[in-house]
Chain A
Amino acid sequence: MGLHMPRGTLIVCLLIVGALALLPLLESRYLIDLATEIMVYALFALSLNVIIGFSGNVSFGHAAYFAIGGYVNAILLTTYGWPLWLSFPAAVVLSALAAAFVAYFCTRLTDIYFAMLTLAFSMLVWAIAFKWRSVTGGDDGFVGVAVPAFIDSRVPFFYFTLVIVTGSIALLWTICHSAFGQALVAVRENLTRAGFIGVNTRMMRGLAFVVAGTFAGVAGAIFAMYNRGVYTESAFWTESAQVLIMTLLGGMYSFFGPAIGAAVLYILERFANEYTEYWPTVAGLILLVIVLVLPEGLVGLARRIGARLVRRSGA
């Protein structure tokens, strides 16, 4: 195994990670919080794109695995007093198992039926979080998460997030560019033909779903500690819609597109909230623009502009 990134991509990634590592020197609480949240959502959106961009299915219920990761980590840390090095992996494994369970049913279907079933399962997760008050806190949320002392302040937590998110993204990159990832693109491109080159397409789509659920669980487990709480909203369909918009905004046919989409949407939301209380309206307009004029997202737009510039300078 190894990270076979093209040199240019690798350099840009190292520069971004390096810049983030130096961010606390600015001593801005606002920036550190913003960067922590964006990193979590970038990982969340990148995980969703394994389903959308790579396997060619749409999930309307990806928040379920984010929420499961969050709740399990929070409950094990707080209610059961587990150490982080046990609770965190347990949270991720449970997210993966939940994704595997759902994938077993969803992968029998394709297109809109697949999408609706993911939505149905995520509403089930939401309902459990809502009703199982004794364990999850119900609609009051699960509050007062016992965050381990070594990351129980802003800057250490930021570095913790940076390390976990960077490692996770590196692993996701490896998976998406592996033999598996390449065959998965073939499944997206032509399901029937992929079967006829000997690929078990249902299994491939299921594995993609599990990979996505696993990393959504990682993001959720971090976010629960960051917020010191988990709320039913994290499993609600609006959360699934938001991460879907992030993925589409950045561009689903590019590995890093969704991370860019997450950053842009998150920053836009921050700004919009300062001027208006109608953020959902703004988000709706953004979605309209993506669907109508930017089907391949911001990365697709950048590629088109780049290609035009090259053509012009060549002429």
Chain B
Amino acid sequence: MSVLETRGLVKDFGGFVAINDVSFTLDHAQKHAIIGPNGAGKTTFFNLITGHLEPSRGTVRFDGREITGMPPHRIVKLGLARSFQRINIFPRMTVWQNIQTALIARDGKHFNMLIAGASQNRQETSELLDLVSLDTESDEIAGELSYGKQKQLELAIALAENPSVLLLDEPTAGMSPQETRDAIALIDQIAVTRQLTLLFTEHDMNVVFGIADRISVLHHGELIASGEPEEVRTDAEVRRVYLGENEHAAA
């Protein structure tokens, strides 16, 4: 069953076509990776789905309902959350407040001017911090955490929305190999326990083939392949534009 679907999606930045006629389907409970060389349009594709950018043409449907052109805050409410490639947290708030505020927003309490912010969703805030192992950093200023921990916080903020589908834009970018392994184990575990559908971009092929059960390949803004990891690995076109280049570079 498809939860997310794009039809003929195009994004034209004044003559530069970043996304070209992409029709894509994400099925329920999939762990779907989008790969492609730098500049292939992965982040733009995410931005189109989550409402950060408006498509030039084409449609995006989520849970059977058209969300093309909806603002991000409404799309999130439907259960589609995302994390970002670059750290995207609330830097001068504490770690605790980062999560608590996300929960306040999820419950639609952010227009309430009379209930004390600090006493909202305390139980759930501490559970989420436990989940991403940030419980001991709860009072620290978020912007002062180490890079890897900020990435974990970023993930927790996205999870706070209780999404059914989670988009992760390079969740391990800039991490050490150890941090990468930990992050992947965590994401894998959360996806299972929360029955999340995952859509992620990643440049580390070990990570991709380690967790994805389906892979789509973007190249110059076009979707050139989509299938099971083994199909994609052996696809001639994919090997030529992408995997081949990597093996070449590694050799």
Contact = CB atoms under 8 A, between A and B. Distances in A.
A307 to B, nearest CB: 13
B145 interface: no
A168 interface: no
Interface stretch (A27-35, A108-116, A159-167, A176-184): A176-184
B52 interface: yes
Contact of A196 (B76, B101, B110): B76
Contacts of A203: 111
Contacts of A195: 71-73, 76
A198 interface: yes
A192 B88 contact: yes
Given A4-B118, A189-B93, A183 B113 contact: no
Given A189-B91, A198-B76, A177 B118 contact: yes
Interface residues of B, number: 41
A93 interface: no
A197 B106 contact: yes
Interface residues of A, number: 31
B97 A182 contact: yes
A2 B115 CA distance: 8
Interface string A195-220: 11111110110010001000000000
B194 interface: no
B100 A196 contact: no
Contacts of B77: 198
B116 interface: yes
Nearest to B107: A179
Given A195-B71, A197-B102, A197-B160, A178 B112 contact: yes
B81 A190 contact: no
Interface in B75-111: 76-77, 81-82, 84, 88-93, 97-98, 100-102, 104-106, 108-111
Contacts of A183: 101, 104-105, 110, 117
A185 interface: yes
A186 B76 contact: no
Interface string B127-162: 000000000000000000000000000000110110
Contacts of B161: 197-198
A195 B93 CA distance: 16
B90 A196 contact: no
Contacts of A196: 50, 52, 72-73, 76, 81-82, 88, 158
A1 interface: yes
The CB with the most chain B CB atoms within 10 A, among A179, A198, A204, A211, is that of A179
B120 interface: yes
B104 A182 contact: yes
Contact of A193 (B100, B110, B111, B157): B157
A180 B111 contact: yes
A185 B115 contact: no
A50 B158 CA distance: 27
Interface in A1-36: 1-2, 4
Interface string A240-267: 0000000000000100000000000000
A174 interface: yes
B123 interface: no
A84 interface: no
Interface in A129-174: 174
Contacts of B120: 179, 182
A201 B116 contact: no
Given A180-B110, A196-B76, A211-B113, 15 more contacts: A1-B114, A174-B114, A177-B117, A178-B112, A178-B114, A179-B116, A179-B117, A180-B112, A182-B117, A186-B90, A197-B101, A197-B102, A198-B161, A199-B105, A204-B110
15 contacts: A2-B116, A179-B112, A181-B113, A182-B120, A186-B90, A186-B105, A190-B89, A193-B84, A193-B90, A195-B73, A198-B73, A199-B105, A200-B71, A204-B110, A207-B113
Interface of A: 1-2, 4, 174-175, 177-183, 185-186, 189-190, 192-201, 203-204, 207, 211, 253
